[in-house]
Amino acid sequence: MTVKFIESCKLPTPFGIFDMHGFQDEQDPTKEHVVLTMGDIKLDEPVLARVHSECLTGDGLFSLRCDCGAQLQAAMHKISQEGRGVIFYLRQEGRGIGLLNKIRAYHLQDAGADTVEANERLGFGADMRDYRMLRPMLDHFGIRQLRLMTNNPRKVNALTDLGIDVVERMPHETGRNPHNADYLRTKKGKLGHLLDE
């Protein structure tokens, strides 16, 4: 998977001023990824990082069905506190099945399916995300080592398989509420996420 760098700009946010960098998938130009950076990420020491898959419902519409929006905001806050870090915002809505299929999956969840069962009933795997675009992005920035904010050991393994040095997994648990209790239980029980009860 090849992505090309397009352009950078400043992005003022409630958490501080980030630099926003745009990348485009060369095989599918409709896939546009964003990287947010703060501080000097090219230092030799490992950089605080979040690999975040797009979630319009959680990130932009404030849905309480998941913990995605809370995780994104928490990552931005932690990076601003540290003054140095990177967020890879990947266009992989609905664990890779797309927005409309995610809505179909939500409909099945409304009828009692969990997130994994809903995806499988639609003919998808439990998690269809692909992280191969990270390798050229990391190379672009000269990043060698990550301190990764995630609860997902599969994500750590996927990055390690790509030759990315994850020197530390930092627990990133936030956004628990009554509407996402079953969602988080499924994440832990069926997808192996490292979450407290």
Query: Does 68 carry a binding-site annotation?
Result: yes
* Rounded distance between C-alpha atoms, residue 34 and residue 90, angstroms: 7
Query: Does 95 carry a binding-site annotation?
Result: yes
Closest CA to 70 of 153, 184, 167, 193: 184
Query: Does 173 carry a binding-site annotation?
Result: no
Q: Is 132 a catalytic residue?
A: no
Q: Which amino acid would we find at residue 51?
A: V
Query: Does 82 carry a binding-site annotation?
Result: no
Query: Does 115 carry a binding-site annotation?
Result: yes
DSSP characters over 48-78: EEEEEE--IIIIIS--SSSSHHHHHHHHHHH
Query: Does 150 carry a binding-site annotation?
Result: yes
Q: Is 129 a catalytic residue?
A: yes
* Rounded distance between C-alpha atoms, residue 38 and residue 73, angstroms: 14
Catalytic residue among 59, 67, 114, 127: 127
Query: Does 166 carry a binding-site annotation?
Result: no
Catalytic residue among 129, 135, 161, 196: 129
Binding residues for Zn(2+): 55, 66, 68
Binding residues: 50-55, 66, 68, 71, 93-95, 115, 150, 155
Binding residues for GTP: 50-54, 71, 93-95, 115, 150, 155
Question: Which residues are designated catalytic?
Answer: 127, 129
